[in-house]
A = this chain, B = another copy of it.
Amino acid sequence: MPRLVMKFGGTSVADLERIRAAAVKIKREVDRGYQVIVVVSAMSGETNRLVGLVDQASMGADAKTPGFFDAREYDAVVASGELVTSGLLAVVLQEMGIQARSWQGWQVPVNTTDDHGAARIESIPSDNLDAKFAEDMEVAVIAGFQGVAPDGRVTTLGRGGSDTTAVAFAAALNAERCDIYTDVDGIYTTDPRITAKARKLERIAFEEMLELASLGAKVLQTRSVELAMRNRVRLQVLSSFNDEPGTLVCAEEEIMESNVVTGVACSRDEAKMTLISVADRPGIAAAIFTPLADAGVIVDMIVQNISEDGRTDMTFSCPVADVPRAEKALEDAKARGEFNYRELDKDTDVAKVSIVGIGMRSHAGVAQKMFKNLADDGVNIKVITTSEIKVSVLVDRKYMELTVQSLHDAFELERTA
């Protein structure tokens, strides 16, 4: 029998009414002849409640001083939320006459590394599930987000880890597809709040989805898309709250014809920082970006100017929230004599706009068309970076919506290919 993985996130199992709605969708797939593996998150709010309890527990006796705590205990506590949802969904399915049972991470087992709080799945032996499917099980309800370390302690995969759980099960159990039910109904050509012309995509390639995910389209956890791409798991993103078809994330070959540009992404709260007049010597980039990484600054775009008289300017972008940490890290490193610069220029008023599309590989002039479009709108480009299937620019934040709308029109994204 063909197998299907269905994943329901926290808002899709927030209460018993929603759990029942999920069960109706599951029953439909059982009736279609699938053996179904369901992966569930904790009821929304529950993980935060548990994390809050651990945080409080780790405070000193004055209940104020944050203390050290063992990530293994964090995992033991926080993973309990999914146990509740998986058991409840199994009960609801049974009540509907379906042979369902819950599986805790260690029961499957979902073998992970021992990186507690951010473990990686190493293997999911399918023997136990295969045996139960061979008996009478119609639906296996898996507690997402968790696994078991080599020493038998409970692990969690990090926030959003249930998407990764779902994809890993789809790969391990040879599922035909992995359906991710969420509170949006698919992947759009751009944020529908910015332009009403945004169109839901029928299909999108893994590579494009990865670029969009890393650009801030928070529908799928980046790791889960990587895992799906590596294992050729067809992912579908669709809504828990209606019965519309969603968006299929799949291999490039499965997409017959596509627009040159598939989507326009944007990210509002960016900052641009420039170190003016840095000595242009081998190792200078490492010298600058090591202290930034150590300080936890998420550096995105990096541009180095043409060198003149042995000195250059180094520009990078990062989230606005990271700017104070970045400044301190750079000044401290300068004070330690690790490198020198004349001036540190900050612009905390920029946004990033990107066009993404696998069609760009075979079409010349896409970047040029983008730049011309911005020039026609009178928008100044502050930084440019490109990859094989993406062009990103930094622009003044006030032009972000204008730029997105204008590019969406220019590349005719409201039209299907």
Q: Which residues of A contact B (CB under 8 A)?
A: 16-17, 19-20, 50, 53-54, 56-61, 63, 67-70, 72-74, 76-77, 79-80, 83-84, 86-92, 94-96, 101-102, 104, 106-107, 152-154
CB-CB under 8 A from A96, the residues of chain B are 61
Known contacts A77-B88, A84-B80, A86-B76, A70 near B101 by CB under 8 Å:
yes
- Cα separation A87 to B348 with both chains bound (whole Å): 42
Complex CA gap A382/B239 in Å reads: 69
Do A107 and B69 have beta carbons less than 8 Å apart? Answer: no
On chain B, the residues within 8 Å of A91 by CB distance are 54, 57-58, 69-70, 73-74, 77
Please pick, from B57, B88, B107, B153, the residue contacting A53 in the complex, using a CB distance under 8 A: B88
Residues A92 and B19 in contact in the complex (CB < 8 Å), given A87-B74, A87-B76, A102-B73: no
User: How many copies of this chain are found per oligomer?
Assistant: 2
Q: Are B16 and A63 in contact (CB under 8 A)?
A: yes
By a CB distance below 8 angstroms, the chain B residues around A73 are 87-88, 90-91, 94, 101-102
| In-complex Cβ contact of A94 among B16, B70, B83, B86 (8 A) | B70
Question: Assuming the A-B contacts A74-B87, A106-B106, A154-B104, are A95 and B69 also in contact, with contact meaning beta carbons closer than 8 angstroms in the complex?
Answer: yes
B-chain residues with CB within 8 Å of residue A60 when the two chains form the complex: 95
Residues of B within 8 A of A76 (CB): 83, 86-87, 90, 102, 104
A-B contacts, 11 listed (Cβ < 8 Å): A17-B63, A19-B57, A57-B88, A70-B94, A73-B101, A76-B83, A76-B90, A77-B87, A104-B154, A106-B106, A107-B152
Given contacts A60-B95, A73-B90, 4 further A-B pairs with CB under 8 A are A67-B95, A73-B91, A77-B87, A107-B153
Asked if B16 contacts A57 (CB within 8 A), the reply is yes
Most central of A16, A61, A87, A153 by chain B CB within 10 Å? A87
